Amino acid sequence: MTDALLEFARSEWLSMGVELELQLIDRRTGDLTRGASDLIALVTKQPFPGDVKPEITESMLEVSTSVQQAFEPLRGELLAIRNALVTGADRLDLEVAGGGTHPFQRWYDRQIYDRPRFRHVAGLYGYLAKQFTVFGQHVHIGCENGTQALWLLHRLSAYIPQFIALAASSPYFQGVDTAYDCSRLNSVYAFPLSGRAPFLTDWPAFERFFAKLKALGVVESMKDFYWDIRPKPEYGTIEVRVFDTPLTVERAAVLAAYVQVICRMLLEHPAPPESEEIYVTYNYNRFQACRFGLEGQLIDGATGAVRAVHQDVLATLELVRPHARELGSLDAIDEVERWVRTEGNDARWQRQTFQRHHSMAELVLQSAERWRGTRAPAPEMPPPRRVGTL
């Protein structure tokens, strides 16, 4: 990769796109199964409503939308992608499911997909590559230039706990309840170039940073950064990477719209982030959201004030409603509020479903039913827990 390829492409302001990493399921056992190559070959024999490509192991694949401007077209495209995948999976006797982790798969059973990039990752990171069989949603937001992208990246970092908690769908991992709503990010955090991006606030400085790491042999491309939010100069976007893959495409569309309206609010009055002090409680707040979901406790690093993630979301919803009205995404904002006040996140549904069936295999198959649009019966929900401290 040459320095010229790090030039930041200009994108339309606030355009958005979604990538989803998905699980391929054996419909008899509920376990992950190899099938990515066959499913991709089948669904791409005719025009596919989006893009589909392999991921690091044969038990997963990634789909992505085209560039969209508004919530409803994005949701429509995601539904069309979902329908095409389900039709193809039925022909191959497979199921497709969302969720940030598979509840009981064993990492050592996975097969690395035969591509140079994936072979390189497996050679560099060893067993971590197979343990990286976890599943996330990535949301891209278009920016006009690289410096705007970095400003937005840093200012958006305050909302990362909200994004984690709202999308959390990985309470089970390697056959146990982890006690986390989002355990997936613990797997990502094992990689050395993960966590938050460095505090660089103009694009020339970022180019120098990248060039130095490349010269040292630390990175080859932007793909080597596993940050929570990273710039994607070739697309002209920032990419928010902390979401677990939701159990439905409808929820995925809502989460993307929520990111878009927050970005509109922040870009209405663009200002550089004040200092690296904005990150003083970042890791703690991130942990709280992963561990306790919407009941996690957030600490304001400047004032010391504490409030729950769900309170932070509700306060943000009031601020972004005028922007949602302008973008035509009020329905999405109303849906986020409904989750917070009544339904909770997907991790809550997963735990309740497991308690009903006492079978992780059945939980996976019920999740696959949710993905295909046949809603599994919602279990009776107890009052949400109100804890968030150790």
Instruction: Give residues with Cβ within 8 angstroms of 171, minimum separation 6.
Output: 177, 178, 179, 180, 181, 183, 347, 350, 351
Cβ-in-10-Å burial (0-12, 13-18, 19+) of 7 comes to middle
| C-alpha neighbours within 13 Å on the C-beta side of residue 60 | 27
How far, in Å, are 289, 300, 342 from residue 307 at the CA level? 12, 9, 19
Domain extent listing, the chain: 16-372
Percent helix, strand and coil across the chain, each to the nearest 5:
50, 15, 35
Q: How many angstroms separate the CA atoms of 60 and 133, rounded?
A: 7
**Ranges of the chain with pLDDT below 50:** 1-4, 375-379, 381-390
Number of neighbours of residue 362 by Cβ within 10 angstroms: 15
Which sign, positive or negative, has the C-alpha torsion 163, 341, 134, 247?
Answer: negative
Q: How many angstroms separate the CA atoms of 120 and 113, rounded?
A: 11
Q: What is the H or E stretch that residue 177 is in?
A: strand 176-177
**Tokens read off for 376:** 């599994």
3-state class (DSSP) for residue 166: helix
The architecture in CATH of the region 16-372 reads 2-Layer Sandwich (3.30)
Tell me the pTM. 0.92
pLDDT at 3: 43
pLDDT at 379: 46
pLDDT at 271: 81
